[in-house]
Amino acid sequence: MTRHTWVRRLVTAAAVLALPLGLTVGSAVASSVARDAAHLPVHERAATQRVVLKAPGCEGCRLRVYSAVFGEDGEPDVWTSRARRVTDGRAAFSVPAGRTHGLSVSVTAPWEGQTGYVTHVAFKYRGIGAGEVVTVARARTKQRASACWAGTDARRTVLRLVTRKVTVEGVQGPTAGTLAFARVGQPAMVPLRRAHAGVLGSQDVNICGKR
């Protein structure tokens, strides 16, 4: 199977599973194609980066990180983790070195209804620079956001996320959804995708660097 075929199937699986089933990216395919860094051979484990996501307002939420960028051959190159549940306000991931570039975070909160999409963390909103503190009130005014973190070279990084239960337009009318964003604006990659009152959702894989 080529990477192109695999990515196409991943996108299709995400679109189908996005409705009431929670997490999307890799839900149906992670067991067959994606490897969590924790299961890498011992000699490869040193080449990982630790990403700790603090989400004190999202206890019990399931988070997943994945990196989807274009490879040297021009085809999408995707890595995805297993889902982690937020416990005591945090979830930690071991990411292969270099894979924080183009990293996205999907969120499934216990309160979410049938939204028709999977919530993603907004790393940057249009008009808010890297390093700026983002408030809920300001996030709610934004209509464009990036789900693609530019990444880091650090071996260990801690990112604080803000999450809020909000009302969104779902499959069968208004339902509970999730506003999720980085507490401090992060260096991010294109594209800036449509956000609805700050809420960033997707029915497919976010391929970072694609305009």
24 or 141, which is more confident: 141
pLDDT at 211: 65
Give domain limits for the chain: 3-202
**Cβ atoms within 10 Å, residue 22:** 20
pLDDT mean over 112-120: 98
Q: Is the pTM of this model over 0.85?
A: no
**DSSP readout, 167-197?**
EEEETTEEEEEEEEEESB---B-S--EE-BT
> 71: pLDDT confidence band, cut at 50, 70 and 90?
confident
Containing H/E element for 7? helix 3-17
CA distance linking residue 177 with residue 24, whole number of Å: 15
pLDDT at 20: 32
What sign has the CA pseudo-torsion 2, 193, 180, 187? positive
Share of the chain above pLDDT 70, in %: 78
Nearest alpha carbon to residue 110 among 163, 54, 171: 163
pLDDT, tens only, 141-185: 999 999 999 999 999 999 999 999 999 999 999 999 999 999 999
pLDDT mean over 71-88: 94
pLDDT, tens only, 89-106: 999 999 999 999 999 999
CA distance linking residue 29 with residue 93, whole number of Å: 19
40 or 90, which is more confident: 90
Are the C-beta atoms of residues 180 and 163 closer than 8 Å to each other? yes
Alpha helices in 96-162 (DSSP H): 136-139
